[in-house]
Amino acid sequence: MNVDVILGLQWGDEGKGKIVDVFTPEYDVIARFQGGPNAGHTIEFENKKFILHTIPSGIFHRNTMNVIGNGVIIDPFILLKEIQKLRESGLAPEENLLISKRAHLILPSHRLLDAAYESAKGKSKIGSTLKGIGPTYTDKAGRNGLRIGNLLQHDFRIKYNQLKESHLSLLSALQFDTSGCLLDGLTFNAYENSWFDSIDLLKGFTIIDSENYLNKSLDEGKSILAEGAQGAMLDVDFGSYPFVTSSNTISAGVCAGLGISPHRIGKIFGVFKAYCTRVGSGPFPTELTDGVGDNLRNMGHEFGSTTGRPRRCGWLDLPALKYSIMLNGVDSLIMMKADVLSSFEKVSICCHYQENGKNLENYPFDLSNESTVPVYDELEGWDDPLRNITSVDMIPGELKTYIDYIENALKLPVEIISVGPDRTHTLLRNRL
């Protein structure tokens, strides 16, 4: 068997969580391969709504195993909160959740460093979720990090203190006032105490060599779906650097983040919204800073799942999608939130970028270059809320034209159309 992959093609929040949940009954294992609690994946069913940050989105299906892979970084405090919420809803996540020994730990002091680096950047800040992502991946690459497996060793506390002290020296060099910095509403000391309490509880979970488990599962003929976090345009190598996250969000990240050979990658599903959003700073060529953008935000409830920040909104950006598709090797497309465009009389699509009146062949190195301008085609909108549509045959003609336009431009089928946040608001089309 192979590992299929679901990932975001834009700047995150495309609706990956919903689609992973919809696909889960078809898989034995769901595995997250990168990112950390900067992610917020929303799943809605039976009038319930869950937002997952670290736990894979297959957790609601008891017969499917969920793996937090080695490429993920974990804040025990946040993970435990997620687990408690699931338990309050009658779920028993310890029964179908496995955690990689090699996943790195986000220490409370990583979060302080994140805040300090952002504050030092002033106006050019990244707009980080402040979950400690950058500093934790920095320590991983710098070979200073601590991993879940270290929790099981007798000298964990010594190693923790060493790393924390090195962070405190850095913070002091940055002249960052840690006393005024709250972590999820808690002082550093209170957060650190809860963090250690969470660790004690986490030790009761199944902590494994996930690379062995996953490869063995494949050998036994089990099916695996890898769940991406963030989106290709936030990839540390290919996103709008430096306004990116600190991991490889693209399909190549699956191999390193799970310990899977490239030979074993199967079908790659690319998830995109019918328009674009971005939360945090950085270039966004099709951003609408006018009332149209406000309408998109209001109609789409575009507020961050992790931080609650308003998301910046704009029209669909085909050059960015083409670039993402190339980087990921996408086999088929999944279009989300078509219903949000329902009330628009006209909808625009950016078909290419121009510089000095010439169409750009390739995606530009520096998107903030002001001479790079998006060029749009305008299409008719569809005046149908779509929520009662249960099959693709019922799709209004204008939406069909919109999808045909996208398929022609991207040369890939749109296999699924999502028309609402619930599991059931999902239309299957051109199933390959």
Q: Which residues are catalytic?
A: 13, 41
Of 80-88, 108-116, 345-353, 412-420, which part binds ligand GDP (CB under 6 A)? Answer: 412-420
> Which residues inside 287-346 make contact with ligand GDP, applying CB under 6 A?
301, 305, 336-337, 339-340
Among 178, 305, 372, 430, binds Mg ion (CB under 5 A): 305
Is 129 an interacting residue with respect to ligand IMO (CB under 6 A)?
A: yes
Residue span binding ligand IMO (CB under 6 A) among the ranges 5-13, 167-175, 182-190, 357-365: 5-13
Contact residue for ligand GDP among 4, 21, 28, 44 (CB under 6 A): 44
How many residues would you count in the chain? 432
The answer to whether residue 13 forms part of the interface with ligand IMO (CB under 6 A) is yes
297 near ligand IMO, rule: CB under 6 A:
no
**HSE-up of 185 (CA within 13 Å, CB side)?**
2
Q: Which does 44 bind (CB under 5 to 8 A by kind): ligand IMO, ligand GDP, Mg ion, none?
A: ligand GDP
Closest CA to 149 of 74, 58, 247, 249: 74
420 lies in the binding site for ligand GDP (CB under 6 A): yes
Please select the residue that binds ligand IMO; options are 57, 230, 251, 324, rule is CB under 6 A. Answer: 230
d(CA 190, CA 5): 38
Lookup result for tokens 């204008």: 398
Using CB under 6 A as the binding criterion, the count of chain residues that bind ligand IMO stands at 23
User: Based on CB atoms, which residue is closest to ligand GDP, 299 or 379?
Assistant: 299
Q: What are phi and psi of 350, to 5 degrees?
A: -80, 115
CA distance 134 to 338: 33
Taking the least distance from each CB to ligand GDP, the nearer of 16 and 297 is 16
First to last CA, the chain: 17
**Residue 18 within binding range of ligand GDP, rule CB under 6 A:** yes
Q: Which is nearer to ligand GDP, 8 or 134 (CB)?
A: 8
x-or-dash string of contact with ligand GDP, 253-292, rule CB under 6 A: ----------------------------------------
The reply on whether position 39 binds ligand IMO by CB under 6 A is yes
Contact between 198 and ligand GDP per CB under 6 A? no
What, of Mg ion, ligand IMO, ligand GDP, none, does residue 416 touch, CB below 5 to 8 Å by kind?
A: none
The one of ligand IMO, ligand GDP, Mg ion, none whose footprint includes residue 280, by CB under 5 to 8 A per kind, is ligand IMO
The residue among 41 and 337 lying less far from ligand IMO, judged by its C-beta, is 41
The full 3-state SS of the chain, as one line of letters, equals CCEEEEEECCCCCCCHHHHHHHHHHHCCEEEECCECCCCCEEEEECCEEEEECCCCCCCCCCCCEEEECCCEEECHHHHHHHHHHHHHCCCCHHHCEEEECCCEECCHHHHHHHHHHHHHHHHHCCCCCCCCHHHHHHHHHCCCCCEHHHHHCCCHHHHHHHHHHHHHHHHHHCCCCHHHCCECCECHHHHHHHHHHHHHHHCCCEEECHHHHHHHHHHCCCCEEEECCCCHHHCCCCCCCCCCCCCCCCCHHHHHHHCCCHHHEEEEEEEEECCEEECCCCCCCCECCCHHHHHHHHHCCCECCCCCCECEEECEEHHHHHHHHHHHCCCEEEEECHHHHCCCCEEEEEEEEEECCEECCCCCCCCCCCCEEEEEEEEECCCCCCCCCCCHHHCCHHHHHHHHHHHHHHCCCEEEEECCCECCCEEECCCC
In terms of CB distance, is 41 or 102 closer to ligand IMO?
41
Q: Give the one residue of 35, 40, 132, 282 binding ligand GDP; rule: CB under 6 A.
A: 40
Q: Residues binding ligand GDP: what is the number (CB under 6 A)?
A: 24
Minimum CB distance to ligand GDP, residue 387 (Å): 9
Q: Does 8 bind ligand GDP (CB under 6 A)?
A: yes
What is the residue type of 429? Answer: R
CB nearer to ligand GDP: pick between 35 and 135: 35
State both tokens at 150. Answer: 């270290």
The least distance separating Mg ion from the CB of residue 4, rounded to whole angstroms, comes to 20
Q: Does 283 bind ligand IMO (CB under 6 A)?
A: no
Given the rule CB under 6 A, which residues bind ligand IMO? Answer: 8, 11-13, 38-41, 126-129, 131, 133-134, 229-231, 234, 245, 279-280, 305
Given the rule CB under 6 A, which residues bind ligand GDP? Answer: 8, 12-18, 39-42, 44, 301, 305, 336-337, 339-340, 418-421, 425
Given the rule CB under 5 A, which residues bind Mg ion? Answer: 13, 40, 305
